[in-house]
């Protein structure tokens, strides 16, 4: 009996150890960036396309104030309310004490410098596709941003979702660097995929989620309930979005639809970002959307 209990205990310990290993918060290999030099000008383009200020600027910030990444915006969900943190270069209140490796680990793996999992309200499931050069360039631009001493606020997340270790299990299910569209035969489609699936993280809003909050990639960009509970985020698939490529590109630049309507809600910030990008980027997004099955 004692031997049986000991074997059972050892087996349980092995299962626990395996679980802890699988769900650990693993940073990126920082040495991958050692040979790269940051280009802050391209980093600004990455910053704009990725919508960093759209979430991390203070609520109601406008104009140049959006470059002050003080945090504070609230994002409701079925799992609680997530509050964007201060990610300005302030050494205490923000991320000014981080290294490039810390920054890359957060962006691509959803891991904090102190070894905790970030909640996937931070769209690292999209940013995981970012190229190493774009990460380095974005970090170079980050050094030019203003500091702000506003303290970050804790998320309003209850049990059991406040157990950060459980996010490690979630990542095993949903964090992947596989592209949704595997084949991009032209440079334009490749750029469109990079913008939609990575930087602009369009799928995070326009794709339905399952009961655990993971994206249902079988219904990629097919529309989803608004996390705020108000209305539906529209489908972008060709069967539902019947606009032509020129009309899509024009909408991304101006916010005006072919039906003389205009963008509203969070899409206003998305349009504001896309309007600052080259026309070729808006055209690439349009080509990607028209190529969807």
Averaged pLDDT for residues 263-292: 95
Give CA–CA dist 211/27, Å, rounded: 27
- The neighbouring-strand residues paired with 215 are 209
What are the start-end ranges of the H helices in the chain?
2-22, 40-50, 52-56, 100-109, 124-127, 132-142, 165-174, 187-193, 203-206, 245-254, 267-274, 279-291
**Whether residues 238 and 123 fall in one domain:** no
pLDDT at 278 over 50: yes
Single residue among 126, 143, 177 that ends a domain in this structure: 177
Taking Cα atoms as reference points, which of 218, 244, 222, 216 lies closest to residue 235?
222
Domain of residue 66 covers 26-177
Single residue among 177, 200, 222 that ends a domain in this structure: 177
**Whether residues 150 and 165 fall in one domain:** yes
**Whether residues 290 and 182 fall in one domain:** yes
Tell me the CA distances in angstroms from 123 to 17, 203, 247, 255, 271, one per residue in order: 28, 10, 27, 23, 18
> pTM to 2 decimals?
0.90
pLDDT at 13 over 60: no
pLDDT at 252 over 90: yes
- Residue 108 CB: number of other CB atoms within 10 A? 20
**Whether residues 168 and 213 fall in one domain:** no
User: How does residue 22 score in pLDDT terms, banded at 50, 70 and 90?
Assistant: low
pLDDT at 17 over 70: no
Single residue among 127, 145, 177 that ends a domain in this structure: 177
pLDDT at 154 over 70: yes
Per-residue pLDDT tens over the stretch 64-117: 999 999 999 999 888 899 999 999 999 999 999 999 999 999 999 999 999 999
Return the SS3 of 209. Answer: strand
Identify whether the C-beta of residue 108 lies closer than 8 Å to the C-beta of residue 26: no
The answer to whether position 16 is within a domain reads no
The answer to whether position 273 is within a domain reads yes
Per-residue pLDDT tens over the stretch 254-274: 999 999 889 888 899 999 999
**Whether residues 143 and 217 fall in one domain:** no
The answer to whether position 216 is within a domain reads yes
pLDDT at 235 over 50: yes
Average pLDDT, the chain: 91
Give CA–CA dist 81/83, Å, rounded: 7
Quote the Cα angle for 108-83-177, to 5°.
Answer: 15
Q: How many domains does the chain have?
A: 2
pLDDT at 37 over 80: yes
Identify whether the C-beta of residue 180 lies closer than 8 Å to the C-beta of residue 217: yes
């Amino acid at each position: 009996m004692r031997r049986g209990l000991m074997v059972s205990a050892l087996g349980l310990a092995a299962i626990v150890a395996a679980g802890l290993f699988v769900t650990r918060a693993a940073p990126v290999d920082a040495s991958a960036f050692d040979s790269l030099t940051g280009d802050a000008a391209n980093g600004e383009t990455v910053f704009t396309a990725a919508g960093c200020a759209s979430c991390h600027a203070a609520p109601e910030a406008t104009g140049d104030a959006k470059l002050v990444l003080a945090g504070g915006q609230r994002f409701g969900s079925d799992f609680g309310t997530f509050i964007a943190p201060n990610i300005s270069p302030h050494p205490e209140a923000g991320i000014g004490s981080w290294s490039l490796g810390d920054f890359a680990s957060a962006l691509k793996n959803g891991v904090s410098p102190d070894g905790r999992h970030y909640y996937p309200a931070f769209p690292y499931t999209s940013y995981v596709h970012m190229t190493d050069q774009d990460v380095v360039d974005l970090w170079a631009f980050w050094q030019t941003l203003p500091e702000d001493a506003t303290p970050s606020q804790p998320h309003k997340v209850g049990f059991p979702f406040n157990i950060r270790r459980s996010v490690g299990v979630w990542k095993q299910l949903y964090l992947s660097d596989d592209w949704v569209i595997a084949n991009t035969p032209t440079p334009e489609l490749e750029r469109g995929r990079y913008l939609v699936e990575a930087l602009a993280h369009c799928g995070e809003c326009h794709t339905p989620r399952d009961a655990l909050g993971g994206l249902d990639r079988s219904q990629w960009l097919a529309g989803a309930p608004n996390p705020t509970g108000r209305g539906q985020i529209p489908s972008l698939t060709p069967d539902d979005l019947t606009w032509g490529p020129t009309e899509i590109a024009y909408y991304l630049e101006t916010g005006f639809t072919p039906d003389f309507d205009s963008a509203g809600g969070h899409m206003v910030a998305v349009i504001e970002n896309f309007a600052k990008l080259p026309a070729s980027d808006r055209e690439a997004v349009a080509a990607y959307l028209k190529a969807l099955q």
